[in-house]
Amino acid sequence: MFVTYGVRRSALAAVAAVGMMVLTSAPAVAQQPADPNPGALTLTGSIDFLNQYMFRGIRQNSSGIAAWPAMDLGISAYSGDGGLKSVGINIGTWNSLHTGDTGQDGPSGKLWYESDFYATLGLGFGGGTSFSTTYTAYTSPNNGFTTVKEIMFKFAMDDSSKLGKAAIKPYIAIAREFDTDVARGQADGGENAGTYLEIGFAPGYAGSKASIGFPIKIGLSAGDYYELDGEDNKFGYFSIAGIVTVPLGGTTSFGAWNIHGGVEYQKLGTTTEFFNGGESNQVIGSFGIGFSY
């Protein structure tokens, strides 16, 4: 699902960060190649800790902490100078571990609330435009929900080359649930398979010691995505966040590591407000560590 960085102090995250600082001073790292991985595969991973997990505005836990370990393998299958600039394949797993009511403290007694598998085919075109198709299976190892299968199409534009620091990197994504039944295989647990529409922007500024991003997005139902009492409510949520990312040194033979944190504010619609216990506003803080290799 969609990672939203935020600020939250976490002993485990701090330990992980300190551990990696130790690693980066180990003898093996002293031999630093300029690029440790010039090949066509890229591995990225992260773990984030949050006070609240909202999936497209739909609350997933009411208590405890959520931890999101994630791993992605990117495959650069093609790059060229024609109309099609690049073809990439990404496969990965994204997980949500909950200490609270939908995890360890819940009826199952199991931490592992969600495990998603996804595969993306991404096409890069001229002018910074890209189009991607993603299949995702959202599963719940602790049976917190029934498996949701979805196909998503995303069109994005990186306007950095035209606008420089004023770039807003707009995108639009549309996702369709399939293989559903009443109250099964749907994010809203509703009657019909839903279609989700997201419009977003990701402006940001990169400095020498840190970067900051301000992702803004709005989630809408393009059909049965936010069902409540038989009625589909179009507006799902609006989100704005501030994310600070601090590199942990440069690129080493272990890749490039960072710590990041931020705060996200969500304004919820009728259905998502109901799922959030009648509260129409939600603030999410998160903190995490990530790497790219």
Partner 1 sequence: MPLRRQIRYVIALVVVAAVWAGVEVSPASAQAAPSDPNPGNLTITGGLDVANAYLFRGIPQDDTGVVMWPFGDLGIALHSGDGAIKSLAVNVGLWNSLHTGAAGSDGPSGKLWYESDFYATLGFGFGGGTSVGVTYTAYTSPNGSFNTVREVSFKVAFDDSRPLGRLASKPYVIVARELEGQADGGAAEGTYLELGAAPGFPVGGLMVTVPLRAGLSLGDYYEGVAGDERFGFFSAAGILTVPLSSGPTRVGSWNIHGGVEYVRLGDRNADILGDTSKVIGSIGIGLSY
Query: Which residues are at the interface with partner 1 (CB under 8 A)?
Result: 23, 26-29, 33, 36-41, 43, 45, 71, 73, 75-80, 93, 110, 112, 115, 139, 141, 143, 147, 253-255, 293
Q: Which is nearer to partner 1, 77 or 163 (CB)?
A: 77
Q: Which is nearer to partner 1, 38 or 207 (CB)?
A: 38
Work out whether the CA dihedral 264, 164, 218, 181 comes out positive or negative. Answer: negative
User: Residue 57 region, left (φ>0) first, then alpha (ψ -120 to 50), else beta?
Assistant: left
Would you give the end-to-end CA distance of the chain in angstroms? 22
Q: Which is nearer to partner 1, 237 or 254 (CB)?
A: 254
Q: Which is nearer to partner 1, 72 or 191 (CB)?
A: 72
**φ, ψ of residue 275 in degrees (nearest 5):** -65, -20
Q: How far is the CB of 33 from partner 1 (least distance, A)?
A: 5
Q: How far is the CB of 110 from partner 1 (least distance, A)?
A: 8
Q: How far is the CB of 256 from partner 1 (least distance, A)?
A: 11
Q: Which is nearer to partner 1, 62 or 143 (CB)?
A: 143
The answer to whether 179 and 194 are in contact (CB under 8 A) is no
Question: Could you write out the DSSP letters of every residue in 60-73?
Answer: --SSS-EEEEEEEE
Question: Could you write out the DSSP letters of every residue in 4-57?
Answer: -------HHHHHHHHHHHHHTTSHHHHS--S-S--SSEEEEEEEEEES--EETT
Q: How far is the CB of 242 from partner 1 (least distance, A)?
A: 31
Q: How far is the CB of 40 from partner 1 (least distance, A)?
A: 4
